[in-house]
Structure 1
Amino acid sequence: MKVKVLFGISVMLLSAQMMTARTKNVVKNDTTTLNKKVPKEWYEKEHQLHDVTVVAHTPIVKMKTDKITYQVRHDVDAKTHTVLEMLRKVPMITVDGKNNISVNGSKQFKVYIDGRPSTMVTRNPTQILRNMPANSIESIEVTTNPGAQYDAEGAGGILNIITKKNKNLNNKIESINGTVHSTIGTNNYGLDANISGQKNHFSYDVNLMTDYMKYKHNKSESDINQKSFSAHTSQDTKQSMPFHMAEFGIGYQLDSLSSLHMNLSVTNFKLHEYGFPEYFYKGGTYGNGLKFGNNLDTRSNETSYDGSINYQRFFGKNNKGSMMFTYQLSHNPVKNDNVNSFFNINQTQLVIPESRKSSVREKNTEHNFLADFTIPLNKNTKINTGAKLTLGQNQSNSSDYRIDKGLYKENIDGSVFYKQKQQIMAMYGEYDATIGWLSVKPGLRYEYTLQKTKYLKGAGSNFNIHYGTIVPALSISARISELQNIGVNYNLRIRRPGITELDPYVDRSNPTTLVYGNSHLDAEKTNNLSIVYNLTASNFAMNATLRHSFSNNAIEQYSFNNNGVLNTTYGNIVKRNISALNLYMNWSMTTSTRMMLNAEAGYTDLRSAALNAKNNGWNLNVNYGIQQNMPWDIKLTTNLELMTRKHTLQGYESGMSLLSASISKSFCNDKWNVTVSGTTGLGHGGNIVWTSYNKGNDFNSTNSFTEPVKNISLGISYTFGSKKETNKDDDDWMQIGSKSHSGKHRK
């Protein structure tokens, strides 16, 4: 390697001397060319440098003790995979068989796009990232220890997706790039397109996607056993889930130091499930048994409108200081309708289920105003500070209708209509310094939350909540060598209860249970401590993270028996302790083979004095993958995912095992890509069976759901692009005979 590099440097120096000699000779012997323009083609031909090739592995992962960056552009799978598929390779991220994403062991996280919060993706990460092509992504950053400048909510961390956009709008550039991608599989089909371009100081990007998933056999079973009553439910339903998104963004470089960006997006997600569940009740008022059927029809429609305006300006020495002002708007109306029309009921029974339609209408609107400043004190020290104001309004209108001979009759007693206003005011300060081999970043954030809830209809009573929260954060990192570092991180995260957890509306869609929220919930506080070790070499990267988190007021869904009816609601009733060791390795075994391991072993301890319950146990998650470059430029990728059961307060949720593979081939200088992918569960006929079990003092319940993950899909993508760049002296590209005898030339 050293010989090749030294030889390359010698060739470059020799070529530079020859170029200088030729230029002097032209100036001396051909006076007609003095002070005249020379065609660029002539210059490039006369001064063509010899090619020098240096063979080396490019590190695909960059790791700090509080942030990990997966460089998607260096992964060959990025040509054919989606962002969701690439997330399975990223350290500290887990994607289960349902495509649910966890960051740093938590499903509570925030998504940023190019360093700016994205409420659209945070709300629908699975749907959007499943359709976003990875070849439009530069890198994925995972902030495992969010500092004081980030919101206190989002316990897991920050997922920042860096797109391939021109970061410098000062040059005179005309460019357009894009990808069109289509997928068709046994369970889904979709089409997406993204186009980005730039003309001088103006840039734009357009993202469109549509996705349709369908399941012909959505099987589930449920058993509830109480002292004198038991219920069994089984169903085999059909399910369809269409998803659509349109996003448009523009940017303008006001001058060399400041820029303006605007973004607008619309997303729509629908769910339709229908079928004929069967029920069997026994004991209590049902005597020897009651068996009946149900004409089930469930529909959900969620539409989101999001927009943002962002202004950024750099200042100070070497432009290391910056200020950023952001406004964000999010409007999210939701419609849910659930029809249960029971039939074949034995009328001699004293108690029979009542056919009904449940209707829920929700609207969630949020305005965010942000101001962030980075103030450099010297070369290695800076201060981050800023403030944020959030103004939100949520409303929920829920009604029950009796079904009598096909007609809907309103049940006024079951109707609830309330409005909730929420204001969050925050300010933060953070000190960031590097002293030789040591880096420290302490910070403090204060958030004040005010909630006002007013009931316009229903039995609920008005209530107000207000509280202040001090959120500390600390990161200490030490550089052991050029390839190794170690660090300690601490932060406090909070989780505010959502509208579903607060909504007191009683869901009676299942005749055997009542499900409702708790309007008196407090924000959940979680303390997180971690020790991190990183090793990064040219062909090998490793991260080992030992973390512990604890909360004394965790929000938990729980069940209890009340007069023979199973009630399910939420409460701040759990003391939760979780310890885990995460190990990540990415090894380029050869120039054509790469191995990846992302594994986590954890221990969970849950206790609740209010329910006189406790549970604990181990769990293990493993994602092992191999990426192989084969002859004829064919790429093969395989992934094996294993998850053991996870413990809940009153029981457990089962694990899963999943095998996936893809084979891809590029054509026409990587403009066309074709991928064949397959996914199957290991066991259960290629599906995944999720089982949850709960046990209380006087009941136990089991729910099982079959996920039809077995799927084969074909993906085809086309990438296009062009770029034309003219610098300020392009019209006078090279002037022979000038003072410096030099010109600008491009690679």
Structure 2
Amino acid sequence: MKNNIKGKQALAITLLSFSPLAALAQAPVNTADSLKLQGIHDSLDLQGVEVVAQKPVVRMTTDKMTYNVQQDADAKTMTLLDMLRKVPMVTVDGQDNVTVKGSSNFKVYVDGKPNQMFQNNFSQVAKSMPASMVKSIDVITSPGAKYDAEGTSGVLDIKLVHQSGQPNSDCSNCYNGNVELSLSNKGERANAYIGGQHGKLTYSAMGMFAWQDFGNLKVTNTRLQQTSLGESLQTTDVEFKQKHPFSFGNFTLGYALDSLSTINVSAGVNGGYTNQNMQPRNSFSGGPYGNGFSYVYNSNQRNRFMGANASADYQRWLNADHTSSLTLSYLFDYNPARNRTWTIYNNVSGVTGLTLTDLFSDSRTWGTSHTGQADLTLDLGKGQTLETGTKFISRHNKSDSRLYDIVDGNDVLNDAGSMLYRNLQSIVAGYAQYKLTKEKYNARLGLRYEHTFESVKYAEHSDRNFHKDYGNLVPSGSIGYNITPMSNLGLTYTMRISRPGISQLNPYTDRTDPTALTYGNPSLAVVKSHNVTLAYNFFMPKVMFNVSLSHDYIGNEIENYQFVDADNKYNSTYANNGKSRNTYVDAFIRWAACKNSTLMLSGNVSYGDWKAKELDYHNWGWSGNAYVGLEQQLPWKIKSSFGLFAQTRQYNLMGYNSGMQFFNASLTRTFLKDRLELSARYANPLRSHLIINQHSAGADFSNHTHVSIPLQVLALSVKWNFGNTKKQFGQYSSKINNDFNDSQKKDSPTSKMGM
């Protein structure tokens, strides 16, 4: 449609193609005209023709969902954890526990590569990291054979804003960056980023430091136990303050050796600690405790963790079309941690049925891994692609846990309560995957084999040492159909496995609570899960809609279960004693209602059934959550965002957690040609605390926990953008990403693939 405006012609074209440049070649346009394309690609500059393209916030495929954080207005004010509440298929409960499709058994990746420090401390890291440092979040629920088989509910891949790789030909010495400072009633945060290109070299560096004060948490735990001595009641009241400093740094380099070869290197370090001083009050009555008594003790906890990683990736294209390639990659990961707890009893007169002694627990863990992989992708022609590769992982986990009795102010080692434990693991893997794209159909069929050699050693108890090796054949497949150019339907099947972690395997018994024992189980086996998903996607310039129906089955799930032993102590450990069936309906809708208003709805409804036959446990129930958001352009160029998150009761094998509601509002304004950004955020203005109730029950006990969490957040942030270009560096990336990036189409300049 052409309109005559002040003597000039303006041509507006709306395309739904994935290749807007191909459409340009077929459309005669005067170079003085303005051509606006509403597509899904980045902004391009083509010799006087202005091409403005907008990325959608969410991009759905048959087996993956990508949430484009940088396209969300809340990215300027939220943390990564806050942003995850908006991401489809991801849930963050009132105590900041993250689940994917209702399960906490997922793998955390950073820039397409496993990051063990993020994995071990994901909630704490996500609460500290600003969303503005994250480019996108990938939720991969149905990975193919190229992907590591670990993580029964899939993979959560956090893509940072940097991206090294092939340089842009029109930028010989360009750079951009930003510096940001945020202040709130929950702490302070400072972060900075710079990225650029000099000739064939691309680079990026980022760093942040956050001091988070989450306020005073109040917890009341009530446990009713039934033993041969009668019914007893235990109540614990505690109030403590959570403070959590966290720092993070990352550096990447990319160099184009020639038009067909690229090498990338990266290094990162991060870490933090938590310090807690508490004075729990314990009350006991009934059963072995007679008429009852109570006491107060001091608990001082010091927990520190850190992580360091480095990687090198080489990619070689085997043809001029960049559709066949060979990649080689290496990844190193190191993650030490130390947890120390002092338990001091001040006055224990009148206590019966319990042995209370002053204790000091010092537990150190180390995790080191080396990963090497080679991948080969061959374009067979006529829409056919063959992908194959091999991988080797060496992991060394060590735990040195020491328990000390404090006698007359001196630490005396308790040999019976101490343990030096090592877990050595070697994994050899190979895969082959065939892809076919034909007219409206596409299909993928793959097979992966992983063989694990595992050795467990105890320094003081060599008689407990054992070795085992086992293989897992992991099939996967999918088929898709393009109903129209704007809609498609896909069906996937995926098998996934989950190897038990060191905290689940470690048999060391934590005795710091005189009424409870916590320990792992070194005999745990690999968990196998099966998933079938049917997904429908619909795209229009103003409306995006996705709905998926999926079913998961696990026959030997690792469950954390509790019981009361003969000494009346509450035991918590793990076993492969669970069977679970979960059915989910996930939906996402985004509607550009008008020029200045956009509405979003993301939510799910699920039904779960959990069984542990040996323990005679069985639980089931319906759950759901939803996020409703509005992005509104206000006068004076102010961008606003309002959102409400609500969650119903969430069930598990032994009980449930109560639901919650969370409201958020933010305002953003830019100045000085977008170089200066000012943002404000207010969360939960009408409620000062969030109340969470947790309930669990077994054959001989019931346990109820009441948690009160400070909820209100008021934050202000200022950000300064600098540089001589606004270009996104590395848009033609060859970085090896552990197979969690899309393989690009034939007309793409390069493709992303790797470990």
- Normalising by structure 2, we get a TM-score of 0.86
Residue 89 to residue 548, structure 1, CA distance change in 2 (3 Å): same
Distance of aligned partners of 1:623 and 1:323 in 2 relative to their CA distance in 1, 3 Å threshold: same
| Alignment of 1:443 onto 2:441 | no
* Residue in 2 that maps onto 1:24: none
8 Å CA contact retained: 2:2, 2:10 = no
Give 2:209's aligned residue: 210
- Corresponding residue for 2:512? 509
Q: SS at 1:354's partner residue?
A: coil
Query: C-alpha deviations, 1:204-223, integer Å up to 9, x for none?
Result: 21111111122442211111
Aligned to 2:149: 152
Aligned with residue 583 of structure 2, among 551, 576, 579: 579
Give, in whole Å, the separation in 2 of the partners of 1:178 and 1:191. 14
Structure 2: runs of 5 or more not aligned = 14-26, 34-45, 728-755
Alpha-carbon distance between aligned partners in 2 of 1:184 and 1:455, rounded to the nearest angstrom? 48
Q: Deviations over 1:95-141 (max 9, x none)?
A: 33444433344333334455444445444444445555555555443
| Equivalent-residue separation in structure 2 for 1:315 and 1:423 (angstroms) | 31
Asked if 1 retains the 8 angstrom alpha-carbon contact of 2:553 and 2:581, the reply is yes
Is residue 717 of structure 2 the alignment partner of residue 719 of structure 1?
no
Q: Please give the per-residue CA displacement for 1:158-199, whole angstroms capped at 9, x wherever unaligned.
A: 334263546532635212211211111112211111111211
Is the contact made by 1:339 and 1:358 (CA closer than 8 Å) also made in structure 2? yes
Q: Is the contact made by 2:355 and 2:514 (CA closer than 8 Å) also made in structure 1?
A: no
Q: Distance in 2 between matches of 1:290 and 1:14?
A: 87
Deviation per residue, 1:448-475 (Å, 9 max, x gap) = 1111001112597112222111111111
* The one of 322, 327, 334 aligned to 2:325: 322
Distance 1:302 1:112 in 2: 18
* Contact 1:170–1:255 (8 Å) recurs in 2: no
* 3-state SS, counterpart of residue 320 of structure 1: coil
Q: Match for 2:718: what amino acid?
A: I
For 1:661, the aligned partner's letter is: A
Q: How far is the alpha carbon of 1:146 from its aligned partner?
A: 0.7
**Relative to 1, partners in 2 of residues 1:124 and 1:215: Cα closer, same or farther, differing over 3 Å?**
closer
In structure 1, C-alpha distance between the alignment counterparts of 2:97 and 2:696, rounded to whole Å: 22
Per mean C-alpha deviation after superposition, the further-off stretch among 239-248 and 61-70 is 61-70
2:597 to 578, 584, 593: 593
Distance in 2 (CA, whole Å) between partners of 1:255 and 1:338 is: 56
Check the 8 A contact 2:2/2:11 in 1, yes or no. Answer: no
SS of 2:291's partner is coil
Distance (whole Å) between structure 2 residues aligned to residue 166 and residue 305 of structure 1 = 19
- Contact in 2 for aligned 1:414/1:458 (Cα 8 Å): no
Question: Contact 1:626 / 1:639 at 8 angstroms: preserved in 2?
Answer: yes
Distance 2:50 2:311 in 1: 46
Residues 523 and 182 of structure 1, relative CA distance in 2, 3 Å threshold = same
2:192 alignment counterpart: 193
Shift of 1:535: 0.4
Distance in 1 between the 2:214 and 2:165 partners?
43
Letter paired with 2:620 = N
Q: Is the 8 A contact 1:195 1:206 kept in 2?
A: yes
Report the secondary structure of 1:600's partner residue: strand
Q: Measured at CA, do residues 648 and 121 of structure 1 come closer, stay the same or move farther in structure 2, by a change above 3 Å?
A: closer
Q: Summarize the alignment of residues 617-656 of structure 1 with structure 2, pairs less than 5 Å apart.
A: 617-656=621-660
Local SS of the residue matching 1:632: helix
Question: What's the offset of the Cα at 1:326?
Answer: 1.1
Quick one: which amino acid aligns to residue 199 of structure 2?
A: N
**Alpha-carbon distance, 1:596 to partner:** 0.8
CA distance in 2, matches of 1:283, 1:86: 47
Shift of 1:358: 1.2
Change (3 A) 1:204 1:132: farther
The one-letter amino acid of 2:609's match is D
**Quick one: distance in 2 between partners of 1:194 and 1:214?**
24
Distance 1:122 1:316, change over 3 A: farther
CA-to-aligned-CA distance 1:493-543 (integer Å, 9 cap, x gap): 111111111111111121111111111000111101111000011011011
Report if aligned partners of 2:293, 2:351 keep a CA contact under 8 Å in 1.
Answer: no
Q: Which amino acid aligns with 2:180?
A: H
Distance 1:681 1:353, change over 3 A: farther
Which protein has the larger Cα radius of gyration, Structure 1 or Structure 2? 1
The 2-side partners of 1:624 and 1:17 are apart by 42
> 1: distance between equivalents of 2:398 and 2:674?
50
What's the secondary structure of 2:464's corresponding residue? Answer: coil
| Unaligned stretches of 5+ residues in structure 1 | 19-46, 726-747
- The farther-off stretch of 260-269 and 91-100 is 91-100
Quote the residue 1:560 is aligned against: 563
Aligned-residue sequence identity (percent) comes to: 33
Q: Deviations 1:641-672 (Å, cap 9, x if unpaired)?
A: 11111112121122211111111211111111
Q: Deviations over 1:281-305 (max 9, x none)?
A: 2234432112111111011011111
Change (3 A) 1:613 1:97: closer
Match of 2:306 among 303, 308, 311: 303
The structure-2 alpha-carbon separation of the partners of 1:207 and 1:9, relative to structure 1 and needing over 3 Å to count, comes to same
Rounded Cα–Cα distance in structure 1 between residues aligned with 2:432 and 2:270: 35
Kept after mapping to 1: 8 A contact 2:88/2:603? no
Match of residue 741 from structure 1? none
Alignment map for 1:127-146 (pairs within 5 Å): 127-130=124-127, 132-135=129-132, 138-146=135-143
Show the 5 A alignment for 1:7-406. 7-8=9-10, 59-130=56-127, 132-135=129-132, 138-160=135-157, 161=159, 163=161, 165=163, 167-169=165-167, 171=169, 173-227=172-226, 228=230, 229-346=232-349, 349=352, 351-406=354-409
Matched pairs, number: 693
Letter in 2 for 1:698: D
Structure 1 residues 673-724: Cα deviation after superposition (integer angstroms, max 9, x where no partner):
1111122287xx5222222212111111112222222221111111111149
Specify whether residues 196 and 99 from structure 1 end up closer, same or farther in structure 2 by C-alpha distance, changes over 3 A only.
farther
* Residues 239 and 274, structure 1, Cα contact 8 Å, conserved in 2: no
CA distance in 2, matches of 1:48, 1:580: 49
